[in-house]
């Protein structure tokens, strides 16, 4: 005979213990606490979200990123994309519950050999981390080169420039001002008379860069 318990609106309903993504079993090697790295599969575009979710459970994870550039409304924008899509690498110190990780949609699976999750060695992780570090260094170097180039190309009043187009092409003049893509200049004619004019920014090159 089934026994029913009558519940009223607002009554607390006891729930079973919530299973976490990690067990209490510490990973050990040779009797010493250790950690292991596993490559995990995630949904497309969810690499950062998965890493953030794991971090809340104190699991370190990363995904090597590559830098890309695109132009939007005349502005060059740098953004990052995963070096390998849908794969992240996570370090576990306690045994993970793969089913809970999947049920919570943190991951879609774990890479395995047969039925055993792949374990990555330190050298492999060092190489994978190096991909991200090199990408960051390349961006930093590119930024420095761009800044140096911008500084060289910047015009200031008093700079000597050479006109590169139109009837005044080849003449060297002195910048008196610039604004909104236009450059104002002056020069002395052979008879000593001052000549002034304006030209587009693309129509002049700083002397020494021509």
Q: Is 15 within the bounds of a domain?
A: no
Count: domains in the chain: 2
Helices (H) and strands (E) in the chain, counts: 3, 17
Q: pLDDT per residue over 50-77, tens digit each? A: 999 999 999 999 998 888 888 877 788 8
What pLDDT was estimated at residue 96? Answer: 96
> 103 — phi, psi (to 5°)?
-60, -35
Residue 42: both structure tokens together = 């995630």
Question: In terms of domains, do 175 and 143 share one?
Answer: no
Question: In terms of domains, do 88 and 129 share one?
Answer: yes
Q: Are 132 and 84 in contact (CB under 8 A)?
A: no
Q: Is 13 within the bounds of a domain?
A: no
Question: In terms of domains, do 192 and 113 share one?
Answer: no
- Which structural domain range is residue 192 located in? 160-206
Question: In terms of domains, do 70 and 144 share one?
Answer: yes
What is the C-alpha to C-alpha distance for residues 81 and 89, in angstroms, rounded to an integer? 15
Question: In terms of domains, do 33 and 108 share one?
Answer: yes
Q: pLDDT per residue over 105-148, tens digit each? A: 999 999 998 888 999 888 888 888 876 555 555 555 656 556 55
The dihedral formed by the CA atoms of 41, 42, 48 and 54, expressed in degrees to the nearest 10: -70
What is the C-alpha to C-alpha distance for residues 93 and 176, in angstroms, rounded to an integer? 66
What secondary structure letter does DSSP report for 203? G
Looking at 152, 173, 195, the residue that finishes a domain is 152
Q: Is 88 within the bounds of a domain?
A: yes
Q: Which of 4-13, 92-101, 128-137, 146-155 reaches the highest mean pLDDT?
A: 92-101
Question: In terms of domains, do 61 and 103 share one?
Answer: yes
What pLDDT was estimated at residue 173? Answer: 85
Q: Is 7 within the bounds of a domain?
A: no
Does residue 4 or residue 23 have the better pLDDT? 23
| pLDDT, average across residues 187-191 | 71
Q: pLDDT per residue over 148-176, tens digit each? A: 556 556 777 878 888 887 777 888 888 88
What pLDDT was estimated at residue 51? Answer: 96
Residue 15 has pLDDT above 80, yes or no: no
Q: Is 191 within the bounds of a domain?
A: yes
User: Mean pLDDT across the chain, nearest whole number?
Assistant: 81
Q: Is 96 within the bounds of a domain?
A: yes
The number of angstroms, rounded, from the C-alpha of 88 to the middle of its chain's C-alpha atoms is: 15
What pLDDT was estimated at residue 210? Answer: 46
Question: In terms of domains, do 119 and 167 share one?
Answer: no
Question: In terms of domains, do 172 and 138 share one?
Answer: no
Q: Residue 111 sits in a domain of what CATH number?
A: 3.30.70
| pLDDT, average across residues 3-22 | 69
What is the C-alpha to C-alpha distance for residues 132 and 82, in angstroms, rounded to an integer? 10
Residue 100 has pLDDT above 90, yes or no: yes
What is the C-alpha to C-alpha distance for residues 145 and 140, in angstroms, rounded to an integer? 9
Sequence-distant (≥ 6) Cβ neighbours of residue 175 within 8 angstroms = 155, 156, 157, 158, 159, 160, 161, 183, 184, 185, 204
Does residue 99 or residue 70 have the better pLDDT? 99
Q: Are 176 and 185 in contact (CB under 8 A)?
A: yes
Question: In terms of domains, do 193 and 113 share one?
Answer: no
Question: In terms of domains, do 129 and 164 share one?
Answer: no
């Amino acid at each position: 005979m089934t026994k029913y318990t009558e519940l009223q609106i607002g009554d607390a309903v006891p729930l079973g213990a919530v299973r976490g993504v990690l067990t209490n079993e510490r990973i050990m090697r040779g009797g010493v606490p250790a950690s292991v790295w596993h490559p995990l599969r995630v949904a497309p575009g969810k690499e950062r979200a998965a890493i953030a979710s794991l971090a809340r459970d104190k699991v370190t994870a990363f995904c090597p990123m590559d830098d890309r550039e695109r132009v939007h409304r005349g502005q060059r924008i740098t953004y990052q994309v995963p070096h390998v899509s849908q794969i992240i690498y996570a370090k576990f110190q306690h045994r993970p519950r793969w089913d809970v990780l999947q049920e919570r949609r943190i991951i879609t699976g774990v890479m395995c050999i047969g039925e055993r999750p792949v374990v990555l060695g330190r050298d492999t992780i060092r190489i994978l981390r190096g991909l991200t570090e090199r990408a960051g260094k390349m961006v930093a170097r590119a930024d420095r080169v761009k800044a140096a180039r911008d500084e060289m190309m910047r015009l200031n009043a008093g700079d000597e420039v050479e006109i590169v187009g139109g009837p005044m092409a080849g003449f060297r003049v002195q910048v008196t001002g610039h604004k909104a893509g236009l450059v104002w200049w002056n020069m002395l004619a052979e008879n000593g008379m001052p000549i002034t004019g304006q030209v587009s920014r693309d129509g002049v090159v700083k002397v020494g860069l021509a």
